[in-house]
Amino acid sequence: MSAQPSFDARRAASCVTVSLLLGLTQGLAVNLVSANLSAIQGSFGATAVEASWLVTAFTATNVSSALLLTKVRLQFGLHVFANLGLGVFLVLSIFHMFNDQLYSAVLLRAALGFAAAPLTSLALLYMMEAWPLSMRSSAVVLGFGTLQLGAPLARVVSEDLLQIGRWGGLQMLEVALALCCVAALSMVRLRPVPLQPNFSRGDLLSFTLFSVALALFCVVLGQGRLLWWTDTPWLGVCLAAGTFCFGLYVLIELNRNRPMLDLRWIASPFMLRFLTAILLYRIALNEQAVGAIGLLTAFGLLNDQMHTLFLWVTFGTILGFGLSLIPLSRKKLEWPGYIALLLVIIAAWNDAGATVQTRAHDLIATQTMLALAASMFLASALAIGFAHVVAGGMKHFISFVAVLSSSQVLGALIGNTALSSFVTVRQKMHFAHLAESVAAFDAQVPARIAQYAAPYGGLLNDAQLRAAQGAAALSQALQQQATVQAYSDVFELIAALAAGTLLWLLVLNALRRCTGQPLIAASRPMAS
C-alpha cells in the first residue's frame, strides 16, 4: 500500500460530503419503499402481501452482493467499480420512475437491490479517504453512520413525494440523488489502489449457491410473517432448498484452496461473538421500526403525523455516532456498547408503559434515546471488528465486509420478522383473554354495548342496528387494548434482551481481563 498523503482539509471536506450523499442515496433506496408500502399498495392496486414483494425482492439480491462487488473492486479498480455500479443504479432508477406494473416493479427492485450495493462500499471508502490512517477506525464508523440516516429521513420526505406522483414521486428522488452521485464521483475521485487478482476457478458456482441460499432465506423471512409460517407449504420448500444450497456451498468452500470467504476465520470465537452482537443490535433496533412505529401505525397515525418524531430520531442517530468517537479515540472500544445497552433498557422499559392514549410526541424522548443507543452500539462493534481485521494484516478484509453487510441486512430482517410474529401471537392471546374477561361479567356487557351504541342514537333508528354497532365498537376497543398490551410485551422483551446482552458482554470482558487477553488480537492462521 502506498504511503498516506499529507492531510488536505479541502479534499477531506469534499470526501465527507460525497460519502454523506452516497450514504443517504443508499439508505433512501432501501427505506423509501418499506416506509410507504400502504401508499404504494394503493398505487399498484395490490394487496399488502403482493406489495411486500417489493421489499423482499430488494433484500434478496442486496444481501449477497457485497461479496461479489468487493472482489470486483479489488480486481478491476475503483473507477470501473464506481462508474459501472452507479451507472446501473441510475438506469434502473429511471426505469422504476416510469413503471406502473407491480410484477415488473418487483423485478426492477430485485435488480436495484444488487445495483445499490456499491453505494455502501463507496460511502465507506470516501469517508475513509477523508481521514489519516491514525483515524481509520473512526472513519469506518462515520462511513457506516451515513448509511443509517436514510431510515428516519425516508419517513420525513416521503409524504410530499407521494403527493407529487405517488410511486413515481418516490422514484423521482432516487433518480435525482443518483444523478447527484454521478456528478459528485466525477468531481471527487478516489485515489487508485493497486489491482490484485481476486477471482479464482470455482467462484461462479460458490457465489451462485451462496446468493441463492441467502435469497431463499430472505423470501422465507420476508413472507413468513405475512402468509404465516404454518399456513404456507411453499415456505418450507424454500427453507429446505436454501438450507441445501448453503450446506453445499459450505462443503465446497471448505475444500477450496482459495475460497470466496474464509469460513474457518468466520467461525472463530471472536467472529462468532461479533456476529452475535451485530444480530442482537439489529433486533434491538427493531424496537423502533416494529415496536414504536408499529404501535403508532396501529392507532392510525401516518408518516406526516410523525415528522417531529423522525427528525428527533435522525438527530439521535447523528449524535450517537459523534459521541462514540470520544471513547473510540481513547481506545475504549467497548464502552459505547455498554452505554448503548443501558440506554436501550431504559428506553424500552419506559415504552412498555404505553397506553391507548400514547401518541408520537409521547415517544420522542425514548426513541431519540434508542437512536442514540443504536448508533453507539454499532460504532463500538464496528471499531472492534475492524481493529481485529487490521491486527490480522487485512487478509480477511473481503470476508469481513461481506459478513458485515450480510449480517446487517439479515439481522434487520430477522429482527423485524421475529418481533412482528411475536406481536401477532401476543395480540391474539391478549384479545382472547380480554374477551373471556368481558364474557365473565355478562351482566355488564349489555350496559357496555349500550354505552358504545349511544353515539349512533341520532343516526340509526333501528335498535338492533345500534346494538350491532355498539358490539362492533366494543370488539374494536378490546382489539385496540390487546394491541397495546402486545406491543408492551415487545418492549419488555427487548429490554430483557438488552439486559441479557449487557450481562453477557460484561462477563466476557471480565473473563478476558482475568486471563490477560487483549481485546483485539492478531488473527492466527487457521488449519486447512
DSSP-derived letter for residue 268 is S
Q: Taking a C-beta distance cutoff of 8 angstroms, is the pair 309, 363 a contact?
A: yes
Distance separating alpha carbons of residues 71 and 358, to the nearest angstrom: 49
Are residues 272 and 156 both part of a single domain? no
Are residues 154 and 179 both part of a single domain? yes
User: Computed from CA positions of residues 386, 388, 394, 398, in that sequence, does the dihedral angle turn out positive or negative?
Assistant: negative
Q: Taking a C-beta distance cutoff of 8 angstroms, is the pair 127, 373 a contact?
A: no
At residue 288, the pLDDT reads: 76
The position carrying cell 463500538 is 380
Is residue 135 one of the residues assigned to a domain? Answer: yes
At residue 2, the pLDDT reads: 45
Are residues 43 and 181 both part of a single domain? yes
Burial class (CB in 10 A: 0-12, 13-18, 19+), 517: exposed
Neighbours of 462 (CB within 10 A): 9
Domain end: 178, 196, 214, which one? 196
| Domain extent for 281 | 261-520
Angle at 187 between CA 184 and CA 193, to 5 degrees: 95
Per DSSP, helices labelled H in 304-363 are: 307-329, 335-351
Distance separating alpha carbons of residues 127 and 131, to the nearest angstrom: 7
Mean pLDDT per 10-residue run, the chain (528 residues)? 60 86 85 79 77 84 74 68 75 76 81 78 82 77 83 81 72 83 83 70 82 88 84 89 90 81 79 80 75 81 82 89 80 80 89 83 89 85 77 70 76 83 87 72 60 57 61 72 87 88 82 66 43
DSSP secondary structure string, 227-252?
A: H-GGG-HHHHHHHHHHHHHHHHHHHH
Q: Distances from the Cα of 290 to the Cαs of 82, 294, 336, 344, in angstroms?
A: 34, 5, 24, 15
At residue 117, the pLDDT reads: 76
Neighbours of 440 (CB within 10 A): 9
Neighbours of 353 (CB within 10 A): 11
DSSP-derived letter for residue 303 is G
Distance separating alpha carbons of residues 146 and 144, to the nearest angstrom: 5
Distance separating alpha carbons of residues 385 and 404, to the nearest angstrom: 9
Are residues 430 and 371 both part of a single domain? yes
| Helices 9-34/48-76 angle, 10° precision | 150
Q: Taking a C-beta distance cutoff of 8 angstroms, is the pair 401, 266 a contact?
A: no
Residues constituting the chain: 528
Distance separating alpha carbons of residues 147 and 19, to the nearest angstrom: 9
Domain end: 212, 239, 257, which one? 257
At residue 393, the pLDDT reads: 66
Cell digits of residue 89: 443504479
- 170: amino acid identity, one letter: L
Distance separating alpha carbons of residues 497 and 46, to the nearest angstrom: 36
Of 252, 202, 270, 256, the C-alpha closest to 528 is: 256
- What CATH number does residue 411 fall under? 1.20.1250
Cell digits of residue 267: 467461525
What's the number of domains the chain is made of?
Answer: 3
Are residues 169 and 227 both part of a single domain? no
Q: Taking a C-beta distance cutoff of 8 angstroms, is the pair 509, 333 a contact?
A: no
Distance separating alpha carbons of residues 85 and 63, to the nearest angstrom: 16
Are residues 238 and 382 both part of a single domain? no
Is residue 238 one of the residues assigned to a domain? Answer: yes
Are residues 125 and 229 both part of a single domain? no
Task: Give the long-range contacts of residues 134-140, CB within 8 A, separation 24 or more.
Answer: 135/329, 136/386, 136/390, 137/328, 137/382, 137/383, 137/386, 137/387, 137/390, 138/325, 138/328, 138/329, 138/383, 140/382, 140/383, 140/386
Are residues 230 and 278 both part of a single domain? no
At residue 525, the pLDDT reads: 41
Distance separating alpha carbons of residues 211 and 340, to the nearest angstrom: 33
- 370: amino acid identity, one letter: L
Are residues 182 and 272 both part of a single domain? no
Are residues 211 and 190 both part of a single domain? no
- What CATH number does residue 70 fall under? 1.20.1250.20
Of 27, 14, 22, the C-alpha closest to 314 is: 27
Q: Distances from the Cα of 432 to the Cαs of 225, 349, 436, in angstroms?
A: 20, 25, 6
Is residue 528 one of the residues assigned to a domain? Answer: no
Angle at 466 between CA 461 and CA 469, to 5 degrees: 145
CA terminus-to-terminus distance, the chain: 28
Are residues 48 and 137 both part of a single domain? yes
Distance separating alpha carbons of residues 525 and 317, to the nearest angstrom: 37
Are residues 393 and 245 both part of a single domain? no
Q: Taking a C-beta distance cutoff of 8 angstroms, is the pair 263, 250 a contact?
A: yes
